[in-house]
Amino acid sequence: MRRCGVNSKLFKLMPNELENKKEVAVFGGGCFWCTEAIFQMLQGVRSVKSGYAGGTKPNPTYEDVCTDSDGHAEVVKIEFNPAIIKFRDLLEIFFATHNPTTLNQQGNDHGGQYRSIILYATPEQKTEAENYIELLTLQNEFDKPIVTELKPLNEFYEAENYHQNYYHNNESKPYCQIIISPKLAKFKAHHPKLIN
């Protein structure tokens, strides 16, 4: 698989040219605390917000989503600068940092809210995601079929304030130490050039 990386030549652009470019990507790959912490580390990512999407209920709460009855998934909304990091790079990171072959589950987290999902913001993102999933399948990157759901982004609902920047605000908590910290360390070791 191609190693993702930031094109250093792009940093020769004027600062305001870099600053003005912005796109949005929305991914769900299990607990949004983990996903948020990974994407926050990346060069070219302007912001990461945890939230809910993919379901039917307007303005869901965390409690609503935990019942697994409204169809929403825990997701992150990533605002990024495509002059520094491409959507394709984000796709590679997304698939490298969760298990896209387990239906409605990531590790010990079970339920539809933890499903693997890409909510595309543009037709181009849809095509790129489809092509990348096809490539992973052809290359037998996983020993089971990819079950990642692909659907249009209709609405993103920002999660409650205590979910935002969760890892950085709660690093000493057992969940962060046992689940998130090892995942971040592994990611940093494999992708040092992408880190801010």
Residues acting as catalytic residues: 31
Which has the closest alpha carbon to 56: 68, 67, 70, 74? 70
- DSSP code per residue over 117-169: EEEESSHHHHHHHHHHHHHHHHTT-SSS----EEEE----EEPPGGGTTHHHH
CB 61 within 8 A of CB 42: no
Task: Using alpha carbons, select from 65, 87, 63, 88 the residue that is nearest to residue 75.
Answer: 65
Q: What's the token pair of residue 73?
A: 């998934």
Q: What three-state secondary structure class fits 96?
A: helix
What φ, ψ does residue 153 adopt, rounded to 5°? Answer: -80, 105
